[in-house]
Structure 1
Amino acid sequence: MHGNDMDKVGDIRQLAGMERVKNLEGREKGNELIRVRNGNGLNFDIQMDRGMDIGRCECNGVPISWISPSGFASPPFYNSEGRKWEKTFGGGLITTCGLQTVGKPSEVGGEHYGLHGSISHTPGELIEKNSYWINDTYIQKMKGRMIEVLDIGEVFELERTVYTSSNSNEIEIYDQVTNISYKSQYHAMMYHVNLGYPLLSESTKMRLPDSDMESINGNMAEERVDQFPPPKESASPTVILHHLKGPNEKTILVSNFITTLEKKLHLKMEWDTETMPKLTQWKHPGRGKYVMGLEPGNVSTKGRDVLIREGEMPALDPHESVSYSIKIKMEWEG
């Protein structure tokens, strides 16, 4: 889509746009989202009631994101106890983990911290929804904020801006997390990027950053980190922590041949390794699961208690902010 196409349509919404949508049925009932079309084949949902995460995503009709059996359950279904986060984990292209913990459940100072934190189940407030032309490119921008409260004295704000444009099948996210309380707080943040079939299959090829690898869960010795196996009847997840060897190791490329279109699809993912120096890779080839998570973060998934004990848990001083960003781009070959 280009600016000179506008004399061929009655309204730009014929080609691209953003719509506010509310789910009316099932576990997703009540959830509000913004359905985005960039005018170049990229369609995705921003889950306003789920931390402004990116839910369903497709490029030229091909699904990119993995969707869990739970779907995007509305926030009242969320339970922060232990691993019950998994009961409402919808998958989607990006699920945000944090802001006080990521990874394994833990207990610190008598306070229980469940798996991956609560920010992905926190409703957002839309601050800006805007679209505009820059030369021949149509830009769409969505900005909002979420407030996460442990108690009245421990409060984080996440301000998120999402961009997409008509000249590239790319989603850009820029986040700023601020400690808006009056005492220092430990802070963790991770982007849980979830890829599924048909981008993910036994013919998928991956190029990962140069890293030293550490096994967190499963048998890393049996895994090829740059490939994915066919579905298995009895499979368990593998979790691998990649210790990136430098700030320039910040690009992942995932590629597969899409038989329905007879083209190769490349997904390129980049993030700011200055503030997110860790990369966790989660692989589950089980039948009916079949998902891979690529998860850049400021910490590993070992759990808040372990990270504090090992001196690896960052903190934000009162009113201090930290910024994160991630870009995911789809390109076709052939």
Structure 2
Amino acid sequence: MVELYGRSWTRRELLARVGRLEQIGGIRQFACTDGAERGVELIQVRTGAGLSYTVSPTKGLDLSLAEFGGMPFSWQAAGGDVHPQYYEAQGTGWLRTASGGLLMTCGLMHAGWPAEHSGHAHGLHGRVHHTPARQVIAEGKWDGDDYEMKVSGIVDETALFGGHLRMHREITSRLGENTIKLTDTVENAGFEPSTHMMMYHFNFGFPLLTEDAEIVMPPGTVKPREPETPLAGYDRWQAPDPSYRERVYFHRPEAQEGEWVSAYVRQPRFPQADGQHRPLRMTLSWNTAALPQLVQWKMPGAGAHVLGIEPANCGMDGAPPDEAAAGRVVLQPGETVRYELELKISPE
């Protein structure tokens, strides 16, 4: 049964009331036509219960603008959904064409600061966010009286004599629910061991983030990236400050192997379309079996006004001499690793 508009509906009851399901929710595909976004493909998913988000096959099946009840809760970079043709892979060039949006995936062979490892130089956060997906499928399908929307595809990172990692991504939501489920399976499709680093760079922004917002990270240890950065305040937000310099915190959640953990942002006064305000909780959960670390990016600047919550299998420091300390993963030929994450919106 689909829960919508304060009651339960069967498939036939809903379809009798519309010309096509997309009147209520579903999947539609678009292409951008202006400026540096020209040629970027977008897939919009609407659950009918308030949640709407866009997936970009052109940018690694990452998530762009996300809204609840017509109000945004993700952060968008000034450049927008810039086409990967403008991507600069060296150094920190990634910053010029990073879209922001709800999710920018960092990987597959590298995440974090520019570094050299496995005999190759890697720019900031790797290539996957700027790699178009192939074999993309976007479909909605009834399963009895439940309607599931799924976007899936494959993203390859490969180079001659440089390894071959392949990511198969599935993003699913259900009609009447305000949840996004993301499952990635990364395979070493090559024939030599390959370094594999993965960081899920979720970006939350205004009006979810205001001075009233409550930020709660999973229980565990936390330390700032720079020793001089105060620990106090990582769980609070503030008004935009043009002079603010980013603060990064490393969390190590307390969890048994394979246990799920959660971080959430609670906004006590999230705006509604009717001008009223209601409490809203945005909860990001993930399986720690493959993502044991968590990076928090706090950036309440002006323009760059964003909170990054970033489950990872690695740190931000690329590949320091002590590779074990960096938490790097090496995939053997044919080996796979599975990542599971879920974002749930809960009006209160």
TM-score normalised over the length of structure 2 = 0.91
Q: Could you tell me how far apart the structure 2 residues matched to 1:222 and 1:185 are?
A: 35
Where do 1:144-223 residues align within 5 Å? 144-217=153-226, 219-221=228-230, 223=232
Q: Which deviations, in whole Å up to 9, do the C-alpha atoms of 1:84-104 show, x marking residues without a partner?
A: 101111111011000111111
Corresponding residue SS for 1:13: helix
CA distance 1:311–1:20, shift in 2 (3 Å): closer
CA distance 1:230–1:224, shift in 2 (3 Å): same
Measured after TM superposition, the shift of residue 137 of structure 1 is 2.5
CA distance 1:311–1:264, shift in 2 (3 Å): closer
The question of whether the paired residues in 1 share the 8 Å contact of 2:107 and 2:125 is answered with yes
The question of whether the paired residues in 1 share the 8 Å contact of 2:42 and 2:56 is answered with yes
Corresponding residue SS for 1:264: strand
Counterpart residue number, 2:129: 120
The residue identity in structure 1 corresponding to 2:84 is P
Measured after TM superposition, the shift of residue 306 of structure 1 is 4.7
Counterpart residue number, 2:250: 241
Count of residues paired in the alignment: 333
Counterpart residue number, 2:265: 254
The question of whether the paired residues in 2 share the 8 Å contact of 1:216 and 1:240 is answered with yes
Unaligned runs of 5+ in 1: none
The question of whether the paired residues in 2 share the 8 Å contact of 1:218 and 1:237 is answered with no
Counterpart residue number, 2:328: 313
The residue identity in structure 1 corresponding to 2:262 is T
The residue identity in structure 1 corresponding to 2:305 is Y
The residue identity in structure 2 corresponding to 1:253 is Y
The question of whether the paired residues in 1 share the 8 Å contact of 2:152 and 2:171 is answered with yes
CA distance 1:110–1:317, shift in 2 (3 Å): closer
Alpha-carbon RMSD across the aligned residues, in angstroms, is 1.7
The question of whether the paired residues in 2 share the 8 Å contact of 1:220 and 1:240 is answered with no
Q: Which deviations, in whole Å up to 9, do the C-alpha atoms of 1:25-70 show, x marking residues without a partner?
A: 1111111121111122211110101000010100111101100112
The residue identity in structure 2 corresponding to 1:251 is S
The question of whether the paired residues in 2 share the 8 Å contact of 1:184 and 1:317 is answered with yes
Counterpart residue number, 1:322: 337
Q: Would you say 1:282 and 2:297 are equivalent positions?
A: yes
Measured after TM superposition, the shift of residue 109 of structure 1 is 5.7
The question of whether the paired residues in 2 share the 8 Å contact of 1:218 and 1:238 is answered with no
The residue identity in structure 1 corresponding to 2:52 is N
Q: Could you tell me how far apart the structure 2 residues matched to 1:127 and 1:47 are?
A: 10
The residue identity in structure 1 corresponding to 2:68 is C
Q: Would you say 1:299 and 2:314 are equivalent positions?
A: yes
Corresponding residue SS for 2:280: strand
Measured after TM superposition, the shift of residue 309 of structure 1 is 6.6
Measured after TM superposition, the shift of residue 186 of structure 1 is 0.8
